């Protein structure tokens, strides 16, 4: 009898503990001031008031990020990676242009390094949005809210001298070539859906590891996004891939589902597009050489 | 519940040794529920049901549940991911089967090396100790990464550069260290008088080891051996790091494409399905062993 009472008491205690925990996880549903511009910095529903917290990967690869490490930053710039705080590279510069357009000063932009999964894991986010070359897809939109696209992207194949991939011009010609791609990228989908290879592609945690195996000859080519292909990660840009399913692939910013920030960020992206900033950033930071043949 | 009275401890009523679950031949009972009598079974069932109902209700009513359900328990995602993951899981099975076979042999060698008597064998003992110290100390994923990315980069002729090959080598190296210690514990548990007896019968030191010590030692360590093998099976997922599309990597691919974690749940299910029968098998072995020893003792 005593045992029974003790047991029930334990269960209730555990239950109470759980209930307490879940009640503290109420969503951040602050109400912005009803007066004035809803997109003014003071009216935005931000992670920390007056600061725009942006998440991206660490390392932050060129040409999307660049520049030298800012003292105290957790990003260590190397030959192929930069520091988002420097405001260099396409996304680095875009982040500060976007923040400025929304009314933030450069000091109000905070960066946080996350693994890719954290950009879409459910639950409270420790950032306002993720800017990490994330391709917008319908399926992904079930888990996060995307901003509108800020960059149109294609996929390309890079290889080193001596690779059997060099000289190939058709998708069919790639079928028997051992390709690799970083995980979570459209690059892998391109290999699977467009090439439909006979040799199983290798899938890596990040670009770095894929390039390691490319250098050691374990794979014959790596599929990356077009601007990355030109960044000297390998000897040759073999060719670019047609759009998956005929739809232009775009990078978007990823927000927590239902984030009220999306509209205001979209406004700012629109403004940057119409005043030519996006084009200017593109020509400043990315190789736009379109003479690379498209695989047929 | 009334009339429970003085016999508060329902499980082991005094004076009825036949009902003690610790005694072999006692009434067959469920060890998980820990109950032998009708009332205790009901209490066990009721508290289990209450506990899990409360836990389930709290989970389902938590503010983040809709998002969690969408991300982790999506039916369509589950149905689509499971067959893909299962088909790639064949690679894990291949990896751990080959590694387990190799580990069984090499670990025994290391253990015997470490148990060799006599000062002549000091270097061998030292080598074996250094080996186990090193490979038990380095995280498995590092061994896999160092061998998997490092060895092919040497571009040596005749050296295989397959990721699967190096993954198997790495897992074998690490688990040989663990299992060697298990074997050694088994060898040490055989009383020295047995060796003395064997020697007095005219067996050489090698023969005493081969025919007297090892057969008993190995039988004794089978349960902990299987335990390590379950660990090895789970660690076969670390091979994903090298770019091999095995179960985990396939789950990650779907997860990253769809921004959905359900494939992880599918994979967890696959692991549970293969490891639970083994765990039960170990339980059964331990129980059988205990029965045997107790039977001899009585």
The DSSP line for B171-228 is HHHHHHHHHHHHHHHHHHTS-HHHHHHHHHTT--HHHHIIIIIHHHHHHHTHHHHHHH
The pLDDT of B19-39, averaged and rounded, is 55
**Looking at beta carbons, which residues of chain B come within 8 Å of A27?**
63
Joined tokens for residue A200: 């199983």
Minimal C-alpha gap between A204 and chain B (Å): 5
Contact A169, A295 (CB under 8 A): yes
| Site of tokens 């109400």 | A31
Residue-level pLDDT at B269: 95
First vs last Cα of chain A: how many Å apart? Answer: 78
Q: State how far the Cα of A148 lies from the Cα of A151, in Å rounded to an integer.
A: 9
The pLDDT of B1-7, averaged and rounded, is 41
Contact A140, A146 (CB under 8 A): yes
Residue-level pLDDT at B228: 92
Q: What are phi and psi of A17, to 5 degrees?
A: -60, -45
Indicate the pLDDT class of residue B30, thresholds 50, 70 and 90. low
Residue-level pLDDT at B32: 59
Residue-level pLDDT at B296: 65
Q: Say if pTM beats, i.e. exceeds, 0.80.
A: no
CA distances, B54 to each of A17, B62, B118, B145, B205 (Å): 12, 12, 63, 44, 62
For chain A, give the longest Cα–Cα distance.
83
DSSP H or E run through A211: helix A207-215
**Looking at beta carbons, which residues of chain B come within 8 Å of A22?**
58, 61-63
| Chain B residue set in contact with A, beta carbons under 8 Å | 1, 4, 8, 43, 47, 50-51, 54-55, 58, 61-64, 67-68, 70-72, 149, 152-153, 155, 161, 163, 241, 243-245, 249, 252-253, 255-261
Joined tokens for residue B129: 């100790």
Find the Cα–Cα–Cα–Cα dihedral A171, A175, A177, A179, rounded to 10°.
Answer: 70
Q: What whole-number percentage of chain B has pLDDT above 70? A: 87
Give residue-wise pLDDT tens across range B44-82.
899 999 999 999 999 888 888 888 888 899 999 999 999
Residue-level pLDDT at B286: 81
**Whether pLDDT at B16 is above 90:** no
Residue-level pLDDT at A30: 43
Tell me if B55 and A143 make a contact (CB, 8 A cut-off): no
Joined tokens for residue B99: 């590694």
Residue-level pLDDT at A28: 43
In sequence order, which residues have a C-beta less than 8 Å from that of residue B283 and are 6 or more positions away? Answer: none
Residue-level pLDDT at A289: 65
Contact B152, B228 (CB under 8 A): no
Consecutive 10-residue averages of pLDDT for chain A (296 residues): 60 54 42 67 89 93 91 88 94 96 94 89 88 92 93 93 92 94 87 92 88 90 90 88 87 92 95 94 83 87
Residue-level pLDDT at B20: 47
First vs last Cα of chain B: how many Å apart? Answer: 38
Residue with the larger pLDDT of the pair B232 and B1: B232
Minimal C-alpha gap between A23 and chain B (Å): 8
Residue-level pLDDT at B21: 47
DSSP label at residue B110:
H
**Looking at beta carbons, which residues of chain A come within 8 Å of B155?**
216-217
* Of the candidates A23, A27, A26, the residue with the CA atom closest to the CA atom of residue A45: A27
The pLDDT of B256-262, averaged and rounded, is 89
Query: Which residue of chain B comes nearest to A8, CA vs CA?
Result: B47
Give residue-wise pLDDT tens across range B129-144.
999 999 999 999 999 9
DSSP H or E run through B96: helix B75-115
Tell me if A189 and B152 make a contact (CB, 8 A cut-off): no
Q: What are phi and psi of B96, to 5 degrees?
A: -75, -25
* Of the candidates A258, A278, A259, the residue with the CA atom closest to the CA atom of residue A268: A278
Size of interface A-B (CB pairs under 8 A): 118
**Whether pLDDT at B31 is above 70:** no
Residue-level pLDDT at B283: 85
**Tally of CB atoms within 10 A around A116:** 21
Angle between helices B122-137 and B75-115 (to 10 degrees): 160
The pLDDT of B253-270, averaged and rounded, is 91
Q: How many residues does chain B have?
A: 298
Burial B219-241 (b: 16+ CB within 10 A, else e): ebbbebbbbbbbebbebbbbbbb
Tell me if B259 and A120 make a contact (CB, 8 A cut-off): yes
Closest partner residue to B47 (CB to CB) among A8, A212, A218 is: A8
**Looking at beta carbons, which residues of chain B come within 8 Å of A144?**
259
Ramachandran area for residue A31 (φ above 0: left; ψ -120 to 50: alpha; else beta): beta
Contact A262, A130 (CB under 8 A): no
Closest partner residue to A218 (CB to CB) among B47, B152, B257 is: B152
Burial A138-175 (b: 16+ CB within 10 A, else e): eebebbbbbbebbbebbbbbbbbeebebbebeebebbe
Tell me if A183 and B252 make a contact (CB, 8 A cut-off): yes
Joined tokens for residue A12: 């209730």
Residue-level pLDDT at B3: 41
């Amino acid at each position: 009898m005593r045992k029974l009472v003790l047991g029930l008491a334990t269960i209730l205690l555990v239950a109470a503990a759980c209930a307490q925990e879940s009640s503290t996880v109420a969503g951040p549903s602050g109400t912005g001031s009803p007066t004035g511009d809803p997109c003014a910095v003071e009216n935005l529903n931000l992670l920390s008031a007056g600061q725009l917290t942006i998440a991206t990967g660490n390392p932050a690869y060129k040409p999307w990020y660049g520049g030298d490490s800012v003292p105290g930053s957790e990003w260590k710039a190397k030959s192929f990676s930069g520091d988002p705080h420097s405001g260099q590279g396409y996304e680095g510069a875009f982040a500060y242009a976007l923040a400025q357009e929304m009314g933030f000063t450069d000091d109000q932009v905070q960066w946080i390094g996350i693994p890719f999964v954290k950009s879409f894991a459910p639950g409270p986010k420790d950032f306002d949005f993720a800017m990490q070359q994330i391709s917008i897809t319908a399926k992904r939109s079930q888990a996060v809210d995307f901003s509108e696209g800020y960059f149109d992207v294609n996929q390309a194949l890079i290889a080193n001298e001596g690779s059997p991939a060099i000289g190939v011009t058709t998708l069919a010609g790639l079928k028997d070539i051992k390709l690799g791609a970083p995980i979570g990228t459209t690059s892998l989908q391109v290999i699977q859906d467009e090439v439909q290879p006979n040799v199983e592609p290798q899938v890596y945690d990040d670009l770095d590891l894929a390039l390691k195996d490319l250098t050691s000859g374990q794979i014959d080519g790596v599929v990356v996004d077009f601007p990355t292909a030109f960044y000297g990660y390998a000897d040759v840009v073999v060719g670019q891939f047609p759009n998956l399913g005929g739809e232009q692939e775009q990078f978007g910013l990823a927000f927590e589902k239902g984030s009220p920030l999306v509209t205001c960020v979209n406004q700012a992206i629109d403004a940057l597009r119409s005043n030519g900033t996006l084009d200017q950033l593109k020509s400043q930071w990315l190789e736009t050489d379109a003479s690379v043949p498209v695989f047929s | 519940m009334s009339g429970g009275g003085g016999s508060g401890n329902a499980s082991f009523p005094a004076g009825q040794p036949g009902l003690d679950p610790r005694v072999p031949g006692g009434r067959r009972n469920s060890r998980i529920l820990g109950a032998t009598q009708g009332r205790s079974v009901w209490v066990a069932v009721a508290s289990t049901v209450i506990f899990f109902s409360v836990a389930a209700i709290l989970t389902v009513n938590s503010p983040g549940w809709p998002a969690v359900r969408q991300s982790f328990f999506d039916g369509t995602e589950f149905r689509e991911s499971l067959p893909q993951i299962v088909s790639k899981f064949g690679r894990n099975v291949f990896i751990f089967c080959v590694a387990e076979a190799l580990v069984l042999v090499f670990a025994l060698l290391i253990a015997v090396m470490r148990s060799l008597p006599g000062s002549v064998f000091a270097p061998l003992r030292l080598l074996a100790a250094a080996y186990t110290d090193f490979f038990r100390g380095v995280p498995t994923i590092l061994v896999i990464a160092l061998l998997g990315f490092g060895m092919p980069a040497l571009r040596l002729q005749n050296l295989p550069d397959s990721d699967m090959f190096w993954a198997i080598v790495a897992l074998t190296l690490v688990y040989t260290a663990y299992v060697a210690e298990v074997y050694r514990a088994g060898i040490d548990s055989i009383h020295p008088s047995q060796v003395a007896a064997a020697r007095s019968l005219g067996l050489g030191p090698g023969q005493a080891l081969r025919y007297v010590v090892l057969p008993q030692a190995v039988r004794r360590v089978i349960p902990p051996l299987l335990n390590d093998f379950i660990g090895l099976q789970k660690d076969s997922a670390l091979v994903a790091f090298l770019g091999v599309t095995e179960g985990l990597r396939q789950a990650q691919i779907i997860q990253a494409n769809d921004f959905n974690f359900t494939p992880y749940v599918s994979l967890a299910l696959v692991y549970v399905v293969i490891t639970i029968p083994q765990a039960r098998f170990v339980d059964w072995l331990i129980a059988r062993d205990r029965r045997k020893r107790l039977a001899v003792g009585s």
